[in-house]
Amino acid sequence: MSDSNDIQNIHKRYSFTLINPSSFYVSLTASIAIASIISFLSFNNYIQNYEILYHLPAVVAVLLATQYLDSRFTKHKEYSKSLHMSFFGNALWLITVVGGIIGSAILSKELSLFYVAVGMFIFSSFRIGIMTTTLGISLKKSCVLCFVQPLAMFFLLIPIDMWSVLYNVETLAFGIAFLAVAVVWSYLTNRTGLPLIKSTHKLLQAYLRSVSRNDPHDMESIILETSKPSNISTSQIRFSTNDDKNDFRMVLPDLHPGPFHPVGGSNIPYQIYKTMNSSAMVLHSISDHSLNLPSQQDVQDYLQELSKSHVSTKGMACTEPVTAQINKARVVGIRLDETALLFLSLSPHGMEDVPVILKTEIEQIAKNRNFQRTLIADTHNAMGGELSQEDSQDLITAAKNVLDILITKTNYPLQYGYANSQAMDIQTSDLAGGGIGMLCLAFDQKKYFLCWADANNMENGVREKIVTHLKNNGCELVEMFTSDTHSTTMGVRNRNGYYELGSVTKPERLASWCLSIARQAEKNITSGKFEILENSAKVRIMGSGIFEHLSRALDDSLKMTQGFMILCTGIFLLSIFLWF
């Protein structure tokens, strides 16, 4: 499995947590309502001649008090997680009580408080699982705290002369069975990531905290344990006027954004963009998640090293863009003296990250044609799976055709114009801080546009709608590409774990924005020159395999959880339909 698939798999596992209510107010209200329903069902079906108006407020009061008390024992004192745990735990208790009523009706048996007592033990067992996995409470402490809320509610719900049901042999047998299952499950799932992942529970807690609380510290600490130093190269094409003003850059870092916001280099495209005075397009290199920066400190170290870039070549001319289409594969190329800049795409069909081996083959083809250097960008402009062998070969063939044509293309004096959406103050969830940028290259009477969006991929077909809209308004958009930022993962509640461009903002609106920016870029056209800058920075990267281990640990935990859930369901049904 590739790193991209592993990342996607981790996000899918995270999607199971999305069953939580989006607001803790919902969990608070629901838990009170469920506690009230349990009280009414108990009084109407199990307890005769009992004063509900006195005991119901007491049950609700102790529920609220223990919810707050639980939050004081969590690792980060998170009240919302305490409320979610209470909501689901009380829901399980309610299911047990209702199941007892239904079971008694089916079997024509007399109702027994046994079902209320077993429900309390199931509630307690559930709390062990949640406390150890997501709340960061040790197993020993969880075994003590698990009884606090359920037992307190039970004592206020049930008359004192009926408390003996708790230590009946039948109740204790099933109660201990559920508690034992919870303890064993918690112990085993915590060890599924060994030996690389020391604690799967800490991994889960760190991941949840990073994506839900915008706190990367714990997750970065785990990832740093397996990170390693590496030399990371970055190429820049710097456009400027002859007086060195109107500076604009196309940046191609040999890094991969990610893995998810706000951990490490998840927002690296925007941070590079800001470092370049908000006048840049940060391209997606041919790279994978092994080239993620593991911490924000590494991001700062990398950004500081960018200022030490050196000029490798310079010039004042370039060629018109060349496009080659082979089946699904499309390659757009521009030649700047002896440097070729290529953009690879399968849009509207889409693909995952282009493999490094493809870059190596294309670079060799360019070298055979006497190109001094070849800068290759993955446009990342449509959703799709891993690149097939057929599509890979088509991309190579298209790149070869483009390079062959670029050799013969006429050089023109460089005329360019750049504009971005900074002044438009665009605020949308599928577009990150860098917004939209547009480069216009002018040749005699022709103008060509390249569009960049600081986004994580694009909805299939959105690129084509934008190209068509600009063409209908006299602007030739030869390619549109994204930065593959992972900052759009923050607060996302879907299975992808991020908002791709066009999933929130309608394509028509995006096209309108792009046209406005293209018009401004056209107004800014000026004569200029270019420089190719190179840089090598020694920073830590995550390395290959880390996401495979993370994904596998979560998968193994899930499989184990499914087995234990089947076991618990069997015990539950046995407790419902046995008559004591």
One pLDDT digit (tens) per residue for the chain, 580 residues: 455 555 555 555 555 555 566 678 899 999 999 999 998 888 877 776 666 777 788 999 999 999 999 999 887 788 888 999 999 999 999 998 898 888 778 777 777 888 899 999 999 999 999 999 888 899 999 999 999 999 999 999 888 888 988 888 888 999 999 999 999 999 998 888 888 788 888 888 888 788 777 888 988 988 888 889 999 999 999 999 988 778 999 999 999 998 888 889 999 999 999 999 999 999 999 988 889 999 999 999 999 999 899 999 999 999 999 999 999 999 999 999 999 999 999 999 988 889 999 999 999 999 999 999 999 999 999 999 889 999 999 999 999 999 999 999 999 999 999 999 999 989 899 999 999 999 999 998 899 999 999 999 999 999 999 999 999 999 999 999 999 998 876 666 666 778 899 999 999 999 999 999 999 999 999 999 999 999 999 999 987 766 677 777 777 877 888 888 888 888 877 877 664 4
In this prediction, residue 317 carries a pLDDT of: 94
* Predicted pLDDT of residue 70: 93
* Most distant pair of Cα atoms in the chain: their distance: 98
Give the per-residue pLDDT at 580.
43
Given a contact cutoff of 8 angstroms between Cβ atoms, the answer to whether 553 and 193 are in contact is: yes
Handedness of CA 32, 35, 39, 40 (dihedral sign): positive
What are the Cα distances from residue 113, in Å, to 36, 246, 372?
17, 80, 83
Distance separating alpha carbons of residues 238 and 530, to the nearest angstrom: 5
Mean confidence (pLDDT) of the chain: 89
What's residue 232's pLDDT?
A: 94
pLDDT at position 495 is 65
pTM of the entire predicted model: 0.85
Question: What percent of the chain is predicted at pLDDT more than 90?
Answer: 62
Residues ≥6 apart with Cβ < 8 Å to 54: none
Cα angle 43, 31, 185; round to 5: 100
Predicted local distance difference test score (pLDDT) of residue 490: 62
| DSSP percent split of the chain into helix, strand, coil, nearest 5 | 50, 20, 30
The dihedral sign for the CA sequence 212, 213, 218, 224: positive
Question: Locate tokens 């997750």: which residue?
Answer: 219
> CB neighbours of 488 closer than 8 A, spacing ≥ 6?
261, 429, 430, 431, 432, 455, 456, 498, 499
* Whole-number pLDDT of residue 67: 94
pLDDT for residue 54:
76
Other CB atoms within 10 A of residue 60 CB:
18
Q: Are 131 and 123 in contact (CB under 8 A)?
A: no
